Amino acid sequence: MVLKDHIDYFDKCKDTSIAEYALEMCKDSRDVYLRSIAWRYLYNTLGAEYVANKILPVADEELLLEISGACKDISKEKLCKSMEREYAKTPSLQLQAHLITYGSGIAIGDYVKKVTNDKKPPEGNGVHIDGPTAAISSIRNPDFLPELEALLTTTFDSEFEDNTWHGLRNSLTKAFVNCGTVAYEKTIDAILRCRPSADVHEENYQYCNYTIEEIKYARKSSFDMPKTLLETKEFLGEVRKYY
């Protein structure tokens, strides 16, 4: 506690005199509470770039997740690279979820392989609002359309078991909508390749149609631009002539 108070004092004074010692604390995982105080002191006094360049290269999974949740101005590319390093050492669902949101091909590829082999999300049944399945909804890069297509095909498999709430099918709809605003025709084509006929499986046929309609709506909305106050007044003035 004395050491904590000492670091807090230098933090409040924005004094970087003990930065070297604080960095050594960040490398020690035996006391995560003290480590948390140390990296926050470095962040507050030396900034996001220092944390990205000095702490991320030595941070373990727990510290990376803590920094990711607290610092929104840290380079996502460097966070992703550091998380991929730790993920390669010890894969975890938490790291996988964060990496998917960062657009990591490694994490997305592992997720697709796991789901297509097991015929179910890696979290298992139940409600999971912050796992890799939920993170799939954040995909917006059309380069990952083949992976999304593979997942969609898997969800149509009779052996597939989805989460009981906000499962993979829900996340896929959102991901396809995201990609559809960037690559409209490619996204629609990917869904149509997977869509069964209504005679074969009506529910899956309707799901594909619903997703396509959501893409069309999102695309249309993206072209809507708000009118200026002057334009709105002129429009209302024109309408008023007819009443």
Interaxial angle between packed helices 184-194 and 202-223, expressed in degrees from 0 to 180 and rounded to the nearest 10: 170
Round to whole Å and give the CA distance between 208 and 212.
6
pLDDT tens digits along 214-227: 999 998 876 666 77
- Rounded average pLDDT over 198-227: 89
| Contacts of residue 172, Cβ cutoff 8 Å, sequence gap at least 6 | 136, 137, 148, 151, 152, 155, 211
pTM exceeds 0.85: yes
147: pLDDT strictly greater than 90: yes
Percent of the chain with pLDDT over 70: 95
| Alpha-carbon span 136 to 117, nearest angstrom | 17
